[in-house]
Structure 1
Amino acid sequence: MPITVDDIIQLLCLISQNRRMEAAKRHSRTGAVAKTALGSIFGGLVAGPAGAVFGGAIVGLLGSWSMHDEFKPVPQILMELPPAKKQKLFNQAMAIIRNVNKTDPGVLTLLVMDSIVVQQKLLAMLEAYIFNELQADIRYRD
């Protein structure tokens, strides 16, 4: 039975779940600054100098609150990827585990989970993929 894209995605989900890996989309700081500036301008037009301060503060707080805790578990993110992105991950993972000559997904999973070195290589590949392709920040929960 050959290794499929879904088998590799499941393996990456298992590894990232064991490490309690989470990711969140990076937000543009420029957009946040622009929104705060617009809040200040609008507040200034409505209520003068005090309104400008108040408007900027309110928009800044709302923006900060809306971006709070947007981290999602990496396995959830991987399962929601479109097929083309899953295929790209599959290709990158297979380049790492190409020397593991197993065609059974269960045996492959056992071999990878027994090898810290292979897990670290797959995690490094996954981190680079999430950071570069998905433009997300990564954290590990304690």
Structure 2
Amino acid sequence: MLPLRFMNKPLSVDDVMKLLISIAEERKMKEDIEKGATIAGSGAFIGGLVGGPPGIAAGGAVGGLLGASTTNGQRKPIPQMITELPPDKKQKLYNEATAILGDLEWMDPKELTKQVMDNETMKQQLLALLEKFLEG
């Protein structure tokens, strides 16, 4: 028999949905910050071109407000989309996600989530699965 640390505890559908939500939330947070910073920086740059040093401040302020307003989601948040999936679709997503997770060894969902969050390749695979699944 394998030592306990090498035994994968069965994951429930809810455990996998929580994992996918964690990955999606981390990605959205990064994208929102990058998008907002780009818009704010662009505003400061344009303001500087038009109004010199005072224009930088004004452009940065306006760009910051625009950046903040554009990061507010127009679509349903991904966590909400996942939780609203019907049971049969959750099961299908679960089956596809656990196929990707197959090589990992974990003792509980918390440990598995940490391993996935530390593994950029696996995160990208799960994000691609999630995007494909939610689009189709």
Asked if the contact 1:5/1:87 (under 8 Å) is kept, the reply is: yes
Where do 1:1-142 residues align within 5 Å?
1-20=9-28, 70-132=74-136
Q: Secondary structure at the match of 1:20?
A: helix
Q: Which has the higher strand share?
A: 1
Aligned length: 85
Cα deviations by residue, 1:35-64 (Å, 9 ceiling, x for unpaired): xxxxxxxxxxxxxxxxxxxxxxxxxxxxxx
TM-score (ref. length: structure 2): 0.59
* SS of residue matched to 1:72: coil
Higher CA-based Rg? 1
1:3 and 1:103 in contact (8 A); partners too: no
State the Cα RMSD in Å. 1.6
Larger RCO, structure (CA 8 Å, separation 6 or more): 1
Instruction: Return the letter of the residue paired with 2:78.
Output: V
Task: Give 1:89 shift.
Answer: 0.5
Query: Which structure has greater helix proportion?
Result: 2
Q: Which runs of 4+ in 1 moved over 2 A?
A: none
Distance 2:107 2:19 in 1: 14
Segments of structure 1 that go 5 or more residues without pairing to the other structure are 22-68, 133-142
Identity between Structure 1 and Structure 2 (%): 46
Residue aligned with 1:11, SS: helix
Specify every segment of 5 or more residues in structure 2 that has no aligned partner in the other structure, as ranges.
1-8, 30-72
